[in-house]
């Protein structure tokens, strides 16, 4: 099982690292540089509204399906038509809720138009994630990796023409429509590939005409998936509510939300790497917990080490050299680079607890401990809102950055404690000491690192991480290679 996990990590990281950094740092940054922080803040606030309520498009079906198919692969051809029928019904509920909130928020006609586009985009994205959950449950990580980047490949092509083509212009609305085209192409591709796999593996024919809505089936599935839905809603809320609170609570809310979005972009790129590592974890952990695999503890330790080596290095490096990277990302906005830098210096430390959450939250999900996770997520959301209410009026986006890091840190620590207690994991004091030594060395080295070109800074960080991690046996290259080749 460790071999499947490491192989899945290799493919999904390889393909995504080839594509998504250019998308986030090239295309998205290019769009914000072109339209400016106020216009992008306008988009980002509406996007987060659509994002927070997108759980209504899924109600936990995707995570439930990943875990269920990983434990019972033979059910895929029976569940796929019915679950797609449920997804088509849920889009109506989602649209009603998002437009009602938009109406209550006093949205203008332009805001409603953008909300409509983003609502449809969220539906397509949710559909893609559900289709990918079937690839993940079947351990088809190579196909899952290809589907995971296809939408970004299409968007890069379209947005590159808009940004750097003959017209050399882009609007927020065109940016959103480019996402629509990319999601449509990806959805059709994923559905076609999955249909062919079902035909090959199960000798069953699947077509769009077989999609149907079964009320008894929907009741059973939604009842089982509800805890997953609640968890995703709570986590999406405490991770994405900051820009909304900024736009509501600060006198210059749109501008502050735009600054937060600019600083958040690089954290989002870093978080994407941690998320990609977690993608194969849910099916692998689900199968291991179902089979009572004795390697669960060692597998958790391997992934935790990889996550912490990456996240601590990234946080220390980018925080101590935040101005350099904000100037790199926003060369056209030198007058507000200091605002970006102040937020990012704090916000980037969120990558450490986020990475821990991706490991231990996934582990507890695979073990079916949804009740405990939902309680922790509820407390985390309350912490985030309370700190934001106190900090935003006085400190704006900087206050929101502190709120995010404090809330995420609580969630990560609480999940580690819960996993150790519930699943009887036994991290040795020596292992914890090695982690502490690694963090100390990397943070000190990052602070002492002399000014270098941005690429030199990244290379130096990678070298520092390896020099610190290898002697401490946090990364065992020999063991990883032996596992992959066995």
Question: What does the DSSP assignment read for 370-420?
Answer: HHHHHHHHHHHHHHHHHHHHHHHHHHTHHHHHHHHHHHHHHHHHHHHHHHH
Q: What is the Cβ-side half-sphere exposure of residue 158, based on CA atoms within 13 angstroms?
A: 18
Rounded to an integer, the average pLDDT of 57-66 is 84
Assign 257 a pLDDT band (cuts: 50, 70, 90): confident
Provide mean pLDDT across the span 34-58: 82
Question: What burial letters (b/e) apply to 352-388, b meaning 16+ CB within 10 Å?
Answer: bbbbbbbbbbbbbbbbebbebbbebbebbbebbbebb
Q: Which domain holds residue 416?
A: 2-485
- Least confident span in 111-115, 248-252, 290-294: 290-294
Higher pLDDT, 12 or 137: 137
Q: Other CB atoms closer than 10 Å to residue 292's CB: what's the count? A: 7
Percent of the chain with pLDDT over 70: 93
Contact 98, 119 (CB under 8 A): yes
Average pLDDT over residues 240-268: 85
| Domains identified in the chain, total number | 1
What are the residue ranges of helices labelled H in 203-320?
215-249, 253-278, 281-290, 296-320
pLDDT at position 27 is 83
Model pLDDT for residues 288-324, shown as the tens digit of each residue: 887 766 678 888 888 899 999 999 999 999 999 999 9
How many C-beta atoms lie closer than 10 Å to residue 434's C-beta?
18
Q: What is the distance between the alpha carbons of residues 63 and 42, in angstroms, rounded to a whole number?
A: 31
Task: Judge whether residue 483 has pLDDT over 60.
Answer: no
| Ranges of H-type helices in 291-396 | 296-320, 322-329, 337-347, 351-366, 370-395
Q: What's the pLDDT tens digit per position in 333-392?
A: 777 778 889 999 999 999 999 999 999 999 998 888 999 999 999 999 999 999 999 999
pLDDT tens digits, residue range 81-110?
888 888 888 899 999 999 999 899 888 899
Q: What is the mean pLDDT of the chain?
A: 85
Structure confidence at residue 34 (pLDDT)? 82
- Predicted confidence band at 444 (pLDDT cuts at 50, 70, 90)? very high
pLDDT of residue 166: 75
Q: What is the pLDDT of residue 380?
A: 96
* Residue 423, SS3 per DSSP: coil
Please tell me the predicted confidence (pLDDT) of residue 315: 95
CA separation for the pair 158, 176 (Å, rounded): 11
* Rounded Cα–Cα distance for residues 187 and 189 (Å): 5
Residue 453 confidence (pLDDT) above 60: yes
């Amino acid at each position: 099982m460790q071999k499947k996990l490491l192989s899945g990590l290799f493919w999904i990281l390889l393909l995504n690292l080839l594509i998504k950094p250019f998308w986030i740092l090239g295309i998205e940054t290019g769009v914000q540089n072109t339209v400016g922080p106020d216009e992008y803040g306008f988009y980002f606030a509406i996007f987060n509204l659509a994002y927070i309520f997108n759980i209504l498009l899924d109600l936990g079906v995707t995570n439930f399906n990943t875990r269920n198919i990983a434990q019972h692969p033979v059910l895929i051809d029976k569940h796929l038509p019915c679950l797609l029928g449920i997804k088509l019904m849920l889009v109506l509920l989602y649209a009603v809720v998002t437009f009602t909130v938009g109406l209550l928020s006093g949205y203008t006609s332009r805001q409603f138009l953008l909300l409509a586009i983003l609502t449809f985009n969220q539906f397509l994205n949710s559909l893609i994630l559900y289709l990918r959950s079937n690839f993940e449950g079947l351990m088809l990580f190579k196909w899952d990796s290809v589907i995971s980047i296809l939408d970004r490949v299409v968007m890069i092509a379209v947005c590159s023409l808009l940004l750097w083509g003959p017209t050399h212009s882009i609007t927020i609305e065109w940016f959103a429509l480019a996402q629509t085209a990319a999601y449509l192409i990806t959805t059709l591709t994923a559905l076609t590939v999955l249909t062919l796999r079902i035909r090959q593996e199960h000798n069953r024919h699947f077509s769009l005409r077989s999609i149907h809505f079964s009320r008894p089936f929907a009741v059973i599935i939604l009842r089982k998936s509800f805890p997953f839905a609640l968890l995703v809603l709570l986590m999406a809320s405490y991770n994405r509510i900051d820009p909304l609170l900024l736009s509501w609570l600060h006198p210059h809310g749109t501008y502050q939300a735009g600054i937060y979005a600019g600083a958040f972009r690089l954290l989002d790129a870093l978080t994407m790497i941690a998320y990609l590592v977690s993608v194969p974890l849910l099916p692998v952990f689900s199968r291991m917990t179902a089979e009572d695999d004795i390697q669960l503890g060692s597998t958790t330790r391997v992934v935790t080490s990889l996550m912490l080596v990456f996240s601590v290095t990234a946080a220390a490096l980018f925080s101590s050299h935040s101005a350099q990277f904000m100037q790199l990302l926003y060369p056209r906005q030198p007058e507000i680079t200091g605002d970006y830098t102040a937020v990012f210096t704090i916000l980037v430390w969120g990558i450490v607890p986020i990475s821990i959450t991706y490991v231990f939250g996934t582990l507890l999900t695979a073990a079916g401990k949804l009740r405990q996770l939902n309680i922790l997520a509820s407390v985390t959301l309350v912490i985030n809102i309370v700190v934001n209410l106190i900090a935003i009026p006085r400190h704006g986006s900087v206050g929101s950055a502190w709120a995010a890091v404090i809330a995420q840190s609580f969630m990560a620590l609480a999940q580690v404690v819960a996993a150790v207690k519930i699943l009887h994991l036994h991290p040795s004091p020596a292992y914890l000491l090695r982690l502490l030594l690694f963090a100390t060395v990397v943070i000190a080295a990052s602070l002492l690192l002399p000014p270098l070109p941005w690429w030199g800074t990244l290379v130096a960080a990678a070298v520092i991480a390896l020099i610190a991690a290898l002697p401490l046996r946090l990364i065992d290259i020999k063991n990883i290679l032996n596992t992959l080749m066995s």
